[in-house]
Structure 1
């Protein structure tokens, strides 16, 4: 565990084989007694400024807390420290014959504590659900330094309030997560991935419905991207190619199945694809023949964010919307901005999560004024969420009212005041500034 001031002061606390929670507790107790603000930090891969200091806050970085505490092969329950990098946990579980129910493009550097603190979603939420369902317990250090041990490994515990849910998604504003107990499913032998082309967004919607009906228990991911997203990846990332013959397709979908019977699962997916082709839902498609081809398919979808950064300035929005309305926002934004920007849409169609991105040669306040607050007002009008999986952090804290009622936000502020009366934990994040410190 390490902490440093934004001004450059740095202190590394080294620990032996025992628990590393103690130093976190002592630092928080000290800071709380002197009303010194603290920012917990994991892999610092967030997109809303949730893990960065605003003024001169102390940064508590969790990178040294990277041990797997235990793993039970019978139950599939993993207990680990908050600083474990997600990709390392995925590799560890793979060697044990299990899988992590969370997979993100930033898995090479993000940490499980940060994932839980932001309730990260990822690529396979449609199969495994959210972290609210997979996290069985946590250990968390409160603002005053008290260690709250809720590191249970039971799937069923109906005794009183389930307090862990307060901390999952609270972005370090109520306490610092130091350990996590998470339920992991067994690794299944059969994984199939198809890269498909659709003529319009309506076909994507119908394809999703048919996939849920006909693939059912083996459906593990359903992602989509528009042709502008694909063009960005092909133009800005080396070694990426379109797996389909050159043609004018408007939308693309990645459908993954995961099961235990390779021949049955593949036959089921092929039958679904043939039926969808005959029904006009897909205009072209290819089924990955090996793990390398599957990886190249995923590289296209996961590479969109990287390609956007290389293309120039980008305004990024992470939204939850009714599936039938999702792409309407992209189309309306294109009309609104005209030729000044490139508007693209992609995301987790299986769980109604749109990543709306506006790419421009450079940042421009006039363009931003055209985007905001329109994008938030549009989302609120359609009863969506302005943050599907990235949290609110600093950038969206004052915009929470687009998704939550004033009464709900006031209750959140009351909980914050009760648990962190001096307001030291991750200030200026999550809650509106007018409520956080009142």
Structure 2
């Protein structure tokens, strides 16, 4: 074909690692607020200090857990599902930046038990933090002080998957990868794909409005989630389930819980619209000389790939090289270019799709916008290319401290903040780079240094949020606010909107027991 005539296809050896191995690690993109916590951050970090101490958090006016409470929960759940020892894994966030001091983990097995737990906690005024797979990146799923951890691991069932309607009903503690595997058994797929797929929970995904790599194709979860079942702070079960895409009956209250990070209620069940699995998937990995060429190529992809375009990712040279240096098993099909794009198509006609993507890349090369690349429809090689993208964020934290930011910016200014930060940080930073979801304007900005120090900290914060705010961007594109970004919410939300958020919180959780110290100050 035309692309094959213009470009020598580069071949590389198949990696032996399955994608599910790398999928256990999510894309990290968080910041912290104190020197002590920051110095503990990193993949090989030691156990951090208690966040209540490092961040000088004043404990809320909550009751103290006592033996009677524990006995009550043991009677309710059974002793095997009430944990009082070896709780470190529940108290520390994924990036080891936040550490709580919970003395109790509860593992309910159904909605009724969740309701009973919250009813007791609300009456006693005991603070609770809902927790799924604990893969969150903004400190939203772990205690800050001594909150009770409400683990949803046992609510892990896929209740139904309907091949005809494409609607699945699933409990909130179901692991995303297990959910997707069940959907694929009947020819469907979950419209959400994350690096943390093998360990994150669908309820946590919905609670944080997780984005992932295919928002450009399927949109965000506000559109895919048809209904939710949520338990309020007082134990009342709110049934907002629906099996229809069109259900225009009053206020769409489900949207309050999508992205509310467990501060308004605990999602226990949800229904989701799952598209049919694509018969033909192709991935192109291409090299470009400038961000201007990146934008031109993205416009061309939308125009010429249209209905089959399913993902459009950007990786700059510094980000890619850092990953390749840290993980020798990675094999990049091309190298030596300032920018790379990973473009995926998903369709139903293999010959048609292959012709379209080859034509698209050939045209880009003729115009000089695309310099080199490779394209494949082989499932194994598709996974290898995706593995490169998935390992980029981990490469940046493997052997250095890294300030990470998850922001949305206007496409024309998508990469400008990387250049600005590179100049602003100068020799204080070892690497300043960017990668992310170009298709939905979500950039992951990274500033690496040998170790945390106040000089570089003052260069990056709050400057990154101020810069984002001036461009009318979002300080959190897909990872939520949690604990780490609550002080910066005003950079993206109007004071009137924040006050209304507070009012809704007070109405649904008047005692403030649900996930305190998160989202709102």
SS, match of residue 448 in structure 2: strand
Is the 2:106–2:151 contact (alpha carbons within 8 Å) kept by the matching residues of 1?
A: no
Judge which range, 306-315 or 2-11, deviates more: 2-11
Residue 252 of structure 1: aligned partner: 340
C-alpha offsets along residues 173-215 of structure 1, whole Å, 9 cap, x if unaligned? 0000000100000012111100000101111111101100011
Residue 414 of structure 1: aligned partner: 503
SS, match of residue 359 in structure 1: strand
Question: What's the TM-score once normalised by structure 1's chain length?
Answer: 0.95
1:151 aligns with 2:259: no
- 5+ residue gaps, structure 2, are 1-76, 85-99
CA–CA distance in 1 between the matches of 2:331 and 2:245?
44
Q: 1:282 aligns with which of 370, 382, 401?
A: 370
CA–CA distance in 2 between the matches of 1:54 and 1:7?
7
| Counterpart mapping for 1:188-267 below 5 A | 188-244=278-334, 246=335, 248-267=336-355
SS, match of residue 399 in structure 1: helix
Structure 1 residue 34, shift from structure 2 partner: 1.1
C-alpha offsets along residues 387-435 of structure 1, whole Å, 9 cap, x if unaligned? 000000001112111001000000110110111000001111111x2xx
Judge which range, 287-296 or 105-114, deviates more: 287-296
Structure 1 residue 45, shift from structure 2 partner: 0.8
1:358 aligns with 2:452: no
Structure 1 residue 7, shift from structure 2 partner: 4.5
CA–CA distance in 2 between the matches of 1:357 and 1:95?
38
CA–CA distance in 2 between the matches of 1:174 and 1:103?
25
Structure 1 residue 363, shift from structure 2 partner: 1.6
Distance 1:213 1:192, change over 3 A: same
Structure 1 residue 367, shift from structure 2 partner: 1.1
CA–CA distance in 2 between the matches of 1:383 and 1:233?
31
Answer 1 or 2: which has greater strand percent: 1
CA RMSD in angstroms, aligned pairs only: 1.3
C-alpha offsets along residues 299-319 of structure 1, whole Å, 9 cap, x if unaligned? 111111111121311111000
Is the 1:197–1:253 contact (alpha carbons within 8 Å) kept by the matching residues of 2?
A: yes
Structure 1 residue 9, shift from structure 2 partner: 3.6
Is the 1:3–1:59 contact (alpha carbons within 8 Å) kept by the matching residues of 2?
A: no
CA–CA distance in 2 between the matches of 1:13 and 1:194?
44
Is the 2:130–2:515 contact (alpha carbons within 8 Å) kept by the matching residues of 1?
A: yes
C-alpha offsets along residues 276-333 of structure 1, whole Å, 9 cap, x if unaligned? 1101111001012511111111011111111112131111100000011011100000
CA–CA distance in 1 between the matches of 2:331 and 2:156?
36
Residue 25 of structure 2: aligned partner: none
Question: What's the TM-score once normalised by structure 2's chain length?
Answer: 0.80
Residue 69 of structure 1: aligned partner: 159
1:291 aligns with 2:389: no
Q: 1:387 aligns with which of 476, 486, 491?
A: 476
Is the 1:138–1:149 contact (alpha carbons within 8 Å) kept by the matching residues of 2?
A: yes
SS, match of residue 406 in structure 2: strand
SS, match of residue 143 in structure 2: coil
Q: 1:340 aligns with which of 420, 428, 433?
A: 428
Q: 1:316 aligns with which of 404, 421, 440?
A: 404
Is the 2:108–2:151 contact (alpha carbons within 8 Å) kept by the matching residues of 1?
A: no
Is the 1:98–1:187 contact (alpha carbons within 8 Å) kept by the matching residues of 2?
A: yes
Is the 1:4–1:60 contact (alpha carbons within 8 Å) kept by the matching residues of 2?
A: no
How many residue pairs end up in the alignment?
426
Residue 306 of structure 1: aligned partner: 394
Residue 67 of structure 2: aligned partner: none
CA–CA distance in 1 between the matches of 2:409 and 2:152?
33
Is the 1:4–1:58 contact (alpha carbons within 8 Å) kept by the matching residues of 2?
A: no
Residue 50 of structure 1: aligned partner: 140
Distance 1:11 1:333, change over 3 A: closer
Distance 1:110 1:13, change over 3 A: closer
SS, match of residue 311 in structure 1: coil
Judge which range, 92-101 or 211-220, deviates more: 92-101
CA–CA distance in 2 between the matches of 1:370 and 1:4?
43
Distance 1:61 1:332, change over 3 A: same
CA–CA distance in 2 between the matches of 1:347 and 1:37?
36
SS, match of residue 121 in structure 1: coil
Residue 182 of structure 1: aligned partner: 272
Is the 2:288–2:294 contact (alpha carbons within 8 Å) kept by the matching residues of 1?
A: yes
Is the 1:4–1:59 contact (alpha carbons within 8 Å) kept by the matching residues of 2?
A: no
Judge which range, 93-102 or 381-390, deviates more: 93-102
Structure 1 residue 12, shift from structure 2 partner: 5.2
| Counterpart mapping for 1:77-156 below 5 A | 77-156=167-246
Structure 1 residue 13, shift from structure 2 partner: 4.7
CA–CA distance in 2 between the matches of 1:14 and 1:411?
32
Residue 436 of structure 1: aligned partner: none
Residue 257 of structure 2: aligned partner: 167
SS, match of residue 398 in structure 2: helix
1:272 aligns with 2:348: no
CA–CA distance in 1 between the matches of 2:367 and 2:216?
24
